[in-house]
Amino acid sequence: MTIEKKTDCAHMANITGWSHRLCAEVLNPGDLAIDLTAGNGNDTLHLAQCTAAQASGCVIGFDIQRCALNASAALLTAHDFPVCIHTEATATDVHPSSQVRPDTGVHLFHCGHQYLEHHLPRAPKDIIGNLGYLPGASHTITTNVLTSIRAAEQGLAALLPQGRLLLVVYPGHPAGYDEAHALIQLFAELPKQRWDSINISCTNAAKAPFLLGAERRR
């Protein structure tokens, strides 16, 4: 008898697939999850599905490009998740899908992820970030070491016990190279008494994306 095995990973070196699997291990309906880089919405959608954001869970996403927020909102509403786009921290733009309660649904903020701590309604169970530049857009607009470190530090401080911070890092471009080295150092220096930290990388491809993960013990 053949047993079908389902996985988000198309192949072993699919780093984004590993981040999705590690999210799904800890997220439950009703949880709060954070996407530091909404991009085209694929990670945000995965978090919404894991938290049942159409009913009980909540996902908060950040992006500095309005086109990314619009793409994310379109993907999420196509999958029947209610979405609000928040602009300049105060104005709220309700997507045509439906109204969204503050504690449920998907909330997308048109700002950098370094402002994470200002938009947390409660402690998150999982924080994900797919760093670098927006696929299909300008490569000159990218995450950077200063804002990504600030977002990572704020995320680590906010996580629930057994919560995870998962960052896909791209060292193959100049900004990503600096970002990668700073984040590796941050994760390596987390105290073992409180954190478990991992680095999933392709050992035969030096410039390939890799995954940094940290789980809060207590």
Using a cut of 0.95, tell me whether the model's pTM lies above it.
Answer: no
pLDDT in tens, 23-36: 999 999 999 999 99
- Confidence band, pLDDT 50/70/90 cuts, at residue 138: low
What domains are defined for the chain? 15-216 (3.40.50.150)
Average pLDDT, the chain: 88
What is the per-residue pLDDT for 107? 96
**Side chain identity at 106, as an amino acid letter?**
V
Strand ranges inside 28-161, DSSP E:
32-35, 58-62, 83-87, 91-94, 105-110, 126-130
What is the per-residue pLDDT for 114? 95
pLDDT in tens, 141-192: 788 999 999 999 999 999 999 999 999 999 988 888 899 999 999 999 999 9
What is the per-residue pLDDT for 157? 97
What is the per-residue pLDDT for 141? 79
β-pairing verdict for 83-87 and 91-94:
antiparallel
pLDDT in tens, 10-19: 578 899 999 9
**Entry field: residues in the chain:** 218
Of 118 and 13, more confident: 118
**If residue 177 lies in a helix (H) or strand (E), which one and from where to where?**
helix 174-188
How many CB atoms within 10 Å of residue 27?
A: 24
- The answer to whether 32 touches 60, Cβ cutoff 8 Å, is yes
CA distance 7 to 10: 7
- The answer to whether 147 touches 49, Cβ cutoff 8 Å, is no
